[in-house]
Amino acid sequence: MNVLVAGLVSLALVFALHALRPRSVLGRAAPAPPCAIPIERPGRGVACVAGGFRAGDREGGGRMAPDRLAAWGAPVDINAATVEELASLEGIGRKIGARIVAARPFRSVEELARVRGVGRRRLARLRTRLFLDESAVDRVE
C-alpha cells in the first residue's frame, strides 16, 4: 500500500512540475536566454559568441529576421537598421520605424527622442536594444 501511495505522489509531482514549466504563446517565440552577442548560423540556429560579430548578424553576411532580433533582444543600430528591424522594437511599428529612417543620421542614441512617436519615455524603455555604430557616424559627416 505504501508503495502505491508513494508512486501516486511522485506521479502527481511530475505532473505539477510539468504544468509549471514556462510556455510560449502559440505563434510567438519564447523568450530566449540572455546572450551577449547572438548571431544566426543558417541551418544550425542561433549561437552566442564572444566577439567578431554585431548582435543580430548572420554568419556569412546579413542580419537576423526581425522576429528573431526581438526574441533574442538583439540590439539594433539606429543608423543602419531597416524599417523592419526597427519595427521589432517594442512599441515601434513600421510608421515610427520609417520616421526614424527618415531622420537619420543620429550622432547619439539620445537624438532618437526627437523623432515624433518616440519621446524620452519610450527611448528609456528601448535603451537596452539600441546602439549607435560611432565609426559609421564619422563616415556620414
Domain with 99 in it: what CATH number? 1.10.150.320
Q: Which amino acid is at 44?
A: R
pLDDT score of 111:
94
In a domain, 21, yes or no: no
The model's pLDDT over 21-72, given as tens digits with 9 standing for 90+, comes to 555 445 555 565 567 788 888 888 888 887 778 778 888 888 888 888 888 8
In a domain, 23, yes or no: no
In a domain, 118, yes or no: yes
Measure the CA–CA gap between 114 and 138, rounded to whole angstroms.
21
pTM, full prediction: 0.64
Mean predicted confidence (pLDDT) in 71-89: 88
Give the structural domain span for 120: 75-141
In a domain, 22, yes or no: no
In a domain, 42, yes or no: yes
55 and 81 in a single domain? The answer is: no
Residues 6+ apart with CB under 8 A from 29: 67, 68, 70, 71
Residue 81 pLDDT > 50: yes
pLDDT score of 21:
59
Q: How many domains does the chain have?
A: 2
